[in-house]
Amino acid sequence: MAKYVLSFRVPADYKPDAGTPAEWQAWFRGLGPALVDVGKAVTAYASLGEVGGGGSRFVAYSVVAAEDMDSALALAEDCPVLRVGGGIEIGPEMEVPES
């Protein structure tokens, strides 16, 4: 199985509410063994160059295991970020040979 990085983006003016952590925890639990690395959230944001058109900002990443891109997309379908007008960028993790 391949590993896929999920990059979570929210609208630039998004402010989480009190229910946000519980909603994310429930979604992560629902991923079961497909969740390889819950990842990290970010607490501040800055950018250089073109990143998402300026109307959104990066807030976190996670890593999942999936058979292929379609399977990784299916895992992301019920993500809480989608309910607040955000999005998820998904891509396979590149294996880097050790030097």
Per the CB < 8 A criterion, the answer to whether 34 and 66 are in contact is yes
**Residue 98 forms part of a structural domain:** no
3-state secondary structure of 32: helix
Task: Flag whether 51 is in a domain.
Answer: yes
Contacts of 28 (CB under 8 A, 6+ apart): 35, 38, 62
Task: Find, among 55, 62, 42, the residue nearest to 86 by Cα.
Answer: 55
**For the chain, how big is the Rg over CA atoms in Å?**
14
Which helix H or strand E contains 28, and what residues bound it? helix 20-31
Residue 97 lies in a domain: no
CATH code (residue 21): 3.30.70.1060
Q: State pTM to two decimals.
A: 0.88
pLDDT band at 20 (very low <50, low <70, confident <90, very high): confident
86 within some domain: yes
In a domain, 66, yes or no: yes
Q: Which of 28-32, 72-76, 85-89 is the least confident region? A: 85-89
Please state the domain count of the chain.
1
Residue 99 lies in a domain: no
Non-local CB neighbours of 2 within 8 Å, separated by 6+ positions? 65, 66, 67, 68, 92, 93
Domain hosting residue 17, numbered range: 2-92
**pLDDT cut 90: percent of the chain above it:** 67
Q: Does 81 reside within a domain?
A: yes
Whether 84 maps to a domain, the answer reads yes
